[in-house]
Structure 1
Amino acid sequence: MTTSATSATSATSPTSAPEAGRLHRTSHTTEVAAPAGVVYGLIADAAKWPLYFPPNVHVERLAFDGVNEHLAIWATANGRATSWTSRRRLDAAARRIEFRQEVPAAPLSAMTGTWAVEALGAERSRLTLLHEFSVAGDRAEDVAWVNRATDTNSRAELGNIARLGERWGRLDALVMSFEDTVHVAAPPEAVYTFLERVEEWPKLLPHVSRLDVTEDGPVQVMSMDTLTADGAEHTTDSVRVCFPEHHRIVYKQTRTPALMEAHTGSWTLTGDAHGTTATAQHSVVLREDAITAVLGEDADVRSARAYVRTALGRNSTATLTFAKRYAEGH
């Protein structure tokens, strides 16, 4: 039986730079019913963290030389979308990853930490996540906010790795990725405008019945009601990160339909002399224990994959088709 992630947020000690505030430490650990190499692989593959870690929205690898890695990360903390850049050093032999936030998100002034995987046998391991941080001014309310975010996110991350670990032999069947493309006889900027202005989607897309959105720079937090082909309505919450200079939007659903444990995706627009290739990409982790409840007693993983592929592909292709009409008409 997998243990739940446990937490110890304990003693503080002065840093070498007092103006940065005291150094605070946290430690979280969980046991995983999977080989240590499998667990290390899950934490080493940062690009897939949005699928595996509930708080993570998007990760961009900026540079990697096989050991040293530079990442841009978007995530939620205490219900708020935030972002930062990190440097990581990967030691596959020791199954250890050290990280340092290069540009910490406020109110942090510094954040470092370590992932460590210890083999407890051929099919079991222990995963430990350590953090050390300081807060500018060391205000008690700011320290409490960071402690709460660190504890909540660490528990979510380790807890989900433990759940994934229990199914590591079936992950290839439960994780799926696919994409659909539509050619548009218009420049990428026109298509991007349609995809970025989600507040207008209920007026423009027949499968979207409601959409609420708040924006903070390139980040959009949205709640949306969509209709499936059989008339059922699903409510999803998402965080999107917009990259207008690259004609790209990435997103993660933070509240998913019952059949999906996790869902991330992107809209990517590539221009050429003939117009734009618009691509909708999806990655999904299926919720295995919901398959028969949603699809019936005879359903299995294969039928769930087919259902999700059809449902998501239909909606995103419909969105791209309406984006095509919009862009070609402007």
Structure 2
Amino acid sequence: MAQPVTHESEHTITVAAPADVVFGLIENVGQWPVTFPPTVHAEQIERSGDTERIRLWATANGAVKAWTSRRELDLKGLRIRFRQEVSQAPVAAMGGEWVLERLPRGGTLVRLLHDFRTVDDDPASAEWIRQAVDRNSDKELAALRDAAEQREQRADLLLTFSDTVRVTGAAKDVYDFLDRADEWPRRLPHVGRVELTEDTPGFQTLEMDTRTADGSTHTTKSVRVCFPYDRIVYKQLLTPALMSAHTGEWTVREDGADTVVTSTHTVVVNPGAVPGVLGADAGVAEARAFVRDALGRNSTVTMLHAKEYAEGVARG
């Protein structure tokens, strides 16, 4: 019986930053959604010493895929090995390694290695996977370089904040309002158009036209991962000019007879866009305040309408 074919790839980049800094960015899975363009959501499931299990949701050739991986972190050797525990078709198995090398002038050579097998050794699947690996690896390495080289400035550009609304209604009804984004144009005053697709249950692609306070409209495109009936996480693939990255989360939890709904945003401000959007005299501080106000206002409006909906259901 023929042995399954194992395909291999290697992608490299040189980063003008210390290896320990680069290693830390790769290790910190929780920040991957705002660091790596393909990553929609990431969670550390467990960690014991230098071994951990992580759960990832990421785009691959435009589709959302999810998997659990085990990682072995070797800071001394500057290596992080990973292996998918259960792969998602057409991937039968996948693993690899981040390998870092200190360079004489203080930089770091990063090598990203992959090996994979396909379901039934299908050649078309192998080509699909290779394209996804090539595309995602190039994006991840470029983003890793930028995050490492701009780490001091990035601390000022990164912004996380939350808003909360209390609801006298059922958590499921609040969740349903947030889940049914296709109904938002008739339910929310700041939403003009929505195109929602959900080819795989729980994985949504959402394109939306949103009206801003000055009357203008901007278009965003997001991938959402839904966890009924308590959480929806998302990442914008197409962001407004002021943001180079934007991820968010809706959480819905019961609190006695009430429900508490919270909207959390994590944003990376795009400094190059600030003068064109806010004027020549504006800086990062003004951009942070503007983004905080605009996103917080729209999210709060959404939660208040979810509150009205759920409380209406409760009243019958």
TM-score band, normalised by the shorter chain? over 0.9
Letter in 2 for 1:298: D
Write the distance in 2 (CA, Å) between the matches of 1:214 and 1:94. 44
Structure 1 residue 122, shift from structure 2 partner:
6.5
Structure-to-structure mapping, 1:55-204, within 5 angstroms: 55-121=38-104, 123-204=106-187
Write the distance in 2 (CA, Å) between the matches of 1:306 and 1:41. 29
Write the distance in 1 (CA, Å) between the matches of 2:64 and 2:169. 33
Structure 1 residue 96, shift from structure 2 partner:
1.2
Moved more, 133-142 or 252-261: 133-142
Which of 181, 189, 206 is equivalent to 1:222?
206
Letter in 2 for 1:243: F
Q: Secondary structure at the match of 1:280?
A: strand
RMSD: 1.3
Which of 217, 234, 238 is equivalent to 2:218?
234
Write the distance in 1 (CA, Å) between the matches of 2:197 and 2:104. 48
Are the equivalent residues in 2 in contact too, given 1:61–1:70 (CA < 8 A)? yes
Write the distance in 2 (CA, Å) between the matches of 1:303 and 1:52. 23
Which of 267, 272, 285 is equivalent to 2:268?
285
Structure 1 residue 30, shift from structure 2 partner:
0.6
Q: Deviations over 1:3-52 (max 9, x none)?
A: xxxxxxxxxxxxxx944x21111000111122111111111011111111
Letter in 2 for 1:55: P
Are the equivalent residues in 1 in contact too, given 2:208–2:221 (CA < 8 A)? yes
Write the distance in 2 (CA, Å) between the matches of 1:118 and 1:194. 49
Q: Deviations over 1:112-149 (max 9, x none)?
A: 10012222257421111000111122222111111100
Give the equivalent residue in structure 2 for 1:49. 32
Q: Secondary structure at the match of 1:329?
A: helix
Q: Secondary structure at the match of 1:298?
A: coil
Give the equivalent residue in structure 1 for 2:19. 36
Unaligned stretches of 5+ in structure 1? 1-16
Q: Which runs of 4+ in 1 moved over 4 A?
A: none
Q: Secondary structure at the match of 2:129?
A: helix
Write the distance in 1 (CA, Å) between the matches of 2:88 and 2:108. 32
Aligned residues: 312
Are the equivalent residues in 1 in contact too, given 2:25–2:148 (CA < 8 A)? no
Q: Secondary structure at the match of 1:190?
A: helix
Are the equivalent residues in 2 in contact too, given 1:35–1:121 (CA < 8 A)? no
Q: Secondary structure at the match of 2:103?
A: strand
Q: Give TM-score, length-normalised by structure 2.
A: 0.96
Q: Deviations over 1:169-195 (max 9, x none)?
A: 111101111100011111211111111
Write the distance in 1 (CA, Å) between the matches of 2:247 and 2:105. 32
